[in-house]
Amino acid sequence: MTLNYVLVVNGPVYGTQAARSAYQFALALLAQGHQLSRIFFYQEGVQNGSALTVPASDEFDLVAAWQQLSITHSIELQTCVAAALRRGVVGKQEAAQNMLSADNLATGFEQAGLGGLAEAMLTADRVIQF
């Protein structure tokens, strides 16, 4: 039986294993034939959507991995807009609204409110939080 999953990532892009574990879980469930419709990045997890992370050349680039996963499997990558703004992860629209000189939301990510998470939870068979 194929299930539709939504992942909620609370862990930062680097510093803990939470986000990397979420990524590995996503790969595993897709390999098993399940669907993954959306990944919602919340709290410290919004840092996964920053275009300004620069891992060392011998380290895994998790932001790029999320982007490739999204492209390959048509998965929505959403950061909580309120949590992101508090942590300096800003999309083009929010930069304009707040009269900021720059934005840094990585390509492929979008900012959404908690309503986006609620909607995803209502339509998913399983919601897994990291």
Residues forming the active site: 80
3-state SS class at 114:
helix
Cβ atoms of 83 and 48 within 8 Å: the answer is no
Residues in the chain: 130
Give the single-character DSSP code of 125. Answer: S
Dist CA 51 CA 125 (whole Å): 31
Dist CA 88 CA 104 (whole Å): 8
Dist CA 25 CA 29 (whole Å): 6
